[in-house]
Amino acid sequence: MDLLPFTAAVAERTRPIYDRMARVMPAAEWPVHAPLVDAINTLKRAKNAVILAHNYQVPEIFWGVADIVGDSLQLAREAQRVQAETIVVCGVHFMGETAKILNPQRRVIVPDKRAGCSLADSITAADVRALRRKYPGVPIVTYVNTSAEVKAESDICCTSSNPVQVVESLGVPRVLMIPDEYLAAYVAANTSVEILSWKGHCEVHERFRAIDIERLREDDDGIVILAHPECPPDVIDAADFAGSTAGMIDFVRDHPTRRVMLLTECSMSDNVAAQFPNVEFVRPCNLCPHMRRNTLGKVLHALQTFEDEIVVDPEVADRARIAVQRMIDLAAVAR
């Protein structure tokens, strides 16, 4: 795609947007992004489209063009409330599927269909049916980081915001929790329910190591470390707090501190840093190669062409919707 011109008019229209992310984006970069941001925001209004962006999206998408931002649970809730004809999901493929499952009559597109997920790839619908046969009568709690076909074989979904709540809502002594082994271990440590797990891992979060936390604390004993529940158990044990991306944001807001490290995807740190200018966010972090497939250029192309539309078999969607809706309804009761 040819670079769009950074005119004085574009600079003026996009100045308030840049001001929100100035802390995490050098001013020299903005002339490249601003024309695309301006074009996308104009086109989405013309085409009656709304843009949903996950917390892991780069700042120019998260702050520049998104109408709704959040973690997987927040996006699932909000996807049901939008009135636009077209929903653009800036995240990964399973998030687009979830939006389509909840909005069967609306067009749902993603900037790049190749944006996948190692967790979603770790299990199939056939695997879930085999688990049903091996553990008859045991409810299956499925992480939203899965395909529509896997959700369709499940009893209820969960996100990293509510896995313990979902498990305990079933009122049974034992559940199958798929596919994230580490999220299942996190839940097992926080409930008396017996948790049977699968061997799926997130390629971003599984790379964090407890030894790195120990070394960091030796040099900086005042740092507060927040870990995502998809991290290995020893990493969660070494952290000060474990929670979803939304939970991390709430922690930073409710527990003022000088230095924080988020053990999650890199763009999350950038997006949170923009919200809390008095907090220093210490790296390292790990990049998600799938989330990084989304760019402003691809978002603009998606709005221009409606390519990479999400299609879910209606029968699969109907069954998957039951599991997703149970999760959303439970979250609404808990609020």
pLDDT tier at 335, thresholds 50, 70, 90: low
pLDDT in tens, 167-201: 999 999 999 999 999 999 999 999 999 999 999 99
24 and 68 together in one domain = yes
Final residue of a domain: which of 201, 230, 260?
201
pLDDT of residue 189: 97
Position 14 in a domain = yes
pLDDT of residue 84: 94
pLDDT in tens, 2-41: 679 999 999 999 999 999 999 999 999 999 999 999 999 9
194 and 240 together in one domain = no
Q: What is the mean pLDDT of residues 145-161?
A: 97
User: Tokens 């994230």, residue?
Assistant: 180
Q: What secondary structure, in 3-state letters, does the chain show?
A: CCCCCCCHHHHHHHHHHHHHHCCCCCHHHHHHHHHHHHHHHHHHHHCCEEEEEECCCCHHHHCCCCCEEECHHHHHHHHCCCCCCEEEEECCHHHHHHHHHHCCCCEEECCCCCCCCHHHHCCCHHHHHHHHHHCCCCCEEEECCCCHHHHHCCCEEECCCCHHHHHHHCCCCEEEEECEHHHHHHHHCCCCCEEEECCECCCCHHHCCHHHHHHHHHHCCCCEEEECCCCCHHHHHHCCEECCHHHHHHHHHHCCCCEEEEECEHHHHHHHHHHCCCCEECCCCECCCCHHHCCHHHHHHHHHHCCCECCCCHHHHHHHHHHHHHHHHHHHHHC
Q: Which residues contact 259 (CB under 8 A, 6 or more apart)?
A: 220, 222, 223, 224, 279, 280, 281, 282
DSSP-derived letter for residue 285 is -
The Cβ of residue 277 has, within 10 Å, a number of other Cβ atoms equal to: 9
Which residues on neighbouring strands pair with residue 242, listed in sequence order? 227
Sheet of strand 280-281: strand arrangement: 241-242, 224-227, 259-263, 280-281
Final residue of a domain: which of 174, 201, 228?
201
Cα–Cα distance for residue pair 209/118, rounded to 1 Å: 19
Q: What is the mean pLDDT of residues 317-331?
A: 95
Position 331 in a domain = no
Position 2 in a domain = no
The Cβ of residue 73 has, within 10 Å, a number of other Cβ atoms equal to: 21
Torsion of CA 149, 154, 156, 160, to 10 degrees: -70
pLDDT of residue 285: 81
CB 94 within 8 A of CB 147: yes
pLDDT in tens, 86-139: 999 999 999 999 999 999 999 999 999 999 999 999 999 999 999 999 999 999
CB 143 within 8 A of CB 158: yes
Position 324 in a domain = no
Longest dimension (CA), the chain: 66
Structure tokens at 140: 């299956």
pLDDT of residue 276: 92
CA 132 to chain centre: 28
169 and 193 together in one domain = yes
Position 318 in a domain = no
Cα–Cα distance for residue pair 159/157, rounded to 1 Å: 7
108 and 27 together in one domain = yes
Q: What are phi and psi of 262, to 5 degrees?
A: -100, 120
Task: Tell me: pLDDT of 1 over 60.
Answer: no
Task: Tell me: pLDDT of 286 over 90.
Answer: no
113 and 126 together in one domain = no
Three-state DSSP class for residue 278: coil
Q: What is the mean pLDDT of residues 147-173?
A: 97
Cα–Cα distance for residue pair 194/181, rounded to 1 Å: 14
Mean pLDDT is lowest, of 214-218, 295-299, 303-307, for: 214-218
218 and 157 together in one domain = no
185 and 248 together in one domain = no
Give the range of the structural domain holding residue 137, as residue numbers without chain letter.
118-201
113 and 184 together in one domain = no
> Rounded mean pLDDT of the chain?
94
Task: Tell me: pLDDT of 49 over 80.
Answer: yes
pLDDT tier at 333, thresholds 50, 70, 90: confident
- Whichever domain contains 57, its CATH number is 3.40.50.10800
Structure tokens at 285: 């972090």
pLDDT of residue 76: 84
12 and 106 together in one domain = yes
Note the pTM of the prediction, 2 decimals. 0.93
pLDDT of residue 2: 63
pLDDT in tens, 208-239: 999 989 988 988 888 999 999 999 999 999 99
Interstrand relation of 224-227 and 259-263 (parallel, antiparallel or unpaired): parallel
pLDDT in tens, 248-257: 999 999 998 8
Number of compact structural domains in the chain:
3
Position 96 in a domain = yes
